[in-house]
Amino acid sequence: MIDFIRNLFTVNHEIIYFIYGLTFFVLGLAIALQSRHSSHLDLARSVNWLAAFGFLHGFHEWGDLFIPLQAEYLAPGIILYLQYIHLLLLAASFACLYGFGLALLEPLKHRRWLHAGFAALLVSWLVLSLFPFRIWFTDLNTWYNAVNALTRYFIGLPSGLLAAYALREHTLKRIAPYNVPRIVRALQLSGIAMAIYALAAGLIAPPVPFFPGNWLNTDTFTRYLLVPPQLIRAMIGLAMAMTTIRFLEIFDIETSRQIEAMEQERILADERERIARELHDGTIQKVYTAGLLVRSAEKLAAHETPLASRLATAVGVLDDAIGDLRQNLSQLHTPAKSPEPLKLAIQKLATDPRFSSLVAVDLNLDLPDSCFLTPEHNIHVMAILQEVLANIVRHAHARHVTVTTDCREDRLRVIVKDDGIGLPAQVTGGHGLRNMRDRAALLHGQLTIDKLEKGTSVTLDIPMEEKR
């Protein structure tokens, strides 16, 4: 039975190599065909490296199939050059896998020593391949196997492990906040498959007279497990391709959300236009008519009497109301954009007499220049913060409020604590609370309200937009 299995794989090794190469070629093709031009995700640029790895590694594995076939027809010198290209394809494919890991870690502000370390590995690989190995191993096949093993140890193993680690970190910190659990699972499975492939492709090399290839190699692997390592790698590559195709759906989800946001914006614009018409044609006209009636009553009242004074005050209030309504109309037609930095906007809000005259507002703002939010996101954050302060003034009976901001690991947290009476036993969500939660959802964040021993804590936790 054992001999039958070994003969089966020996006879069909060409099919195994073809499937092996095809698996990685399909991986690259699936990524290349995915449209990502309008994506704002960092993953959209990173997967280009993964696509290059798939294509190059597929061509390399097909080289194991076609170069021996061409050796029967081509001159030995040409075959030698083809083997050089074959080794370069292997090194380049692993280098692209390392580039994929670096591109994923780049937005997470990881150390630059990763670039320098990989450059040192490439230089060491090139020097060892061209000089000592070419002198030590005079036989061409022995030299080829030695360089192949060196490529896997020096480039393949660290590249695969880095890519797997980077995919895990990127998934947890950049993709998980989008609340797409099936995409997160696919990315995690892809990272696991990548780590297993790093071990299978980076440690199992052709037989060579140095460690670890002198005891762990393709021959010993096949001898003890009966299955050739190429078949194992092909199965791992198939898992990588399947999970990659699954997580590429995030770009379709992103496009759907962009279209949904555009549709919501259109609906909001129509609603603003309707409210503006009603204010202009109905409310302002009624207030203006009321002003005329009060002015006519003011003329009938005796001068310098309490009634005349109150009517004059009423006229002033009605004029102010008309001015406010016209200002609101202007803002409805052209929604406000906040050009101010978030830190300055919070400081101005804290000194607003509507709040500062009723509660003492202390600020603890940790907002470095790297903490960047778009103007639209600034508006949502400030609207939430304003609603929180308004609720404290109306309902909490608080004397002191602390606003704390914390910006780290590409996330912004805004925490508002008061020393008021706290939340009631049963909180009924009104329009203001729903509005805050809706805005937090638009920011892909979370709004948490907690009852303290004395007072209430409101926490807004959102991912930051990367400044481009």
Along the 468 residues of the chain, how does pLDDT read in single tens digits?
677 676 777 778 788 889 999 999 999 999 999 877 767 788 888 999 999 999 999 999 999 989 988 888 889 889 889 999 999 999 999 999 999 999 998 766 656 788 888 999 999 999 999 889 988 998 888 999 999 999 999 999 999 999 999 999 999 988 888 888 999 999 999 999 999 999 999 999 999 999 999 999 999 999 898 899 999 999 999 999 999 999 999 988 877 777 676 677 777 777 777 787 777 777 878 887 888 888 888 777 777 788 888 888 888 888 878 777 777 776 666 554 555 788 888 998 888 877 787 789 999 998 887 677 888 788 889 889 988 998 888 888 889 999 999 887 778 999 999 999 887 766 666 667 887 888 888 888 899 998 888 899 999 999 876 443
Number of H helices and number of E strands within the chain? 18, 5
Contact 193, 236 (CB under 8 A): yes
Q: How far apart are CA 203 and CA 372, in angstroms?
A: 43
3-state secondary structure of 413: strand
3-state secondary structure of 465: coil
Q: How far is CA 209 from CA 14, 147, 202, 206, 244, in A?
A: 26, 12, 17, 10, 37
Residue 332: the pLDDT is 66
Residue 468: the pLDDT is 39
Count of CB atoms situated within 10 Å of the CB of 390: 13
Residues 278, 284, 287, 289: is their CA dihedral positive or negative?
negative
Count of CB atoms situated within 10 Å of the CB of 203: 18
Residue 320: the pLDDT is 78
Contact 310, 298 (CB under 8 A): no
Q: How far apart are CA 250 and CA 41, in angstroms?
A: 9
Who contacts 404 (Cβ-Cβ below 8 Å, separation ≥6)?
Answer: 364, 365, 366, 414, 415, 416, 417
> In angstroms, how far is CA 457 from the centroid of its own chain?
28
Residue given tokens 């959300």 in the structure block: 257
Q: How far is CA 308 from CA 295, 300, 302, 358, 462, in A?
A: 10, 9, 7, 33, 55
Q: How far apart are CA 170 and CA 187, in angstroms?
A: 9
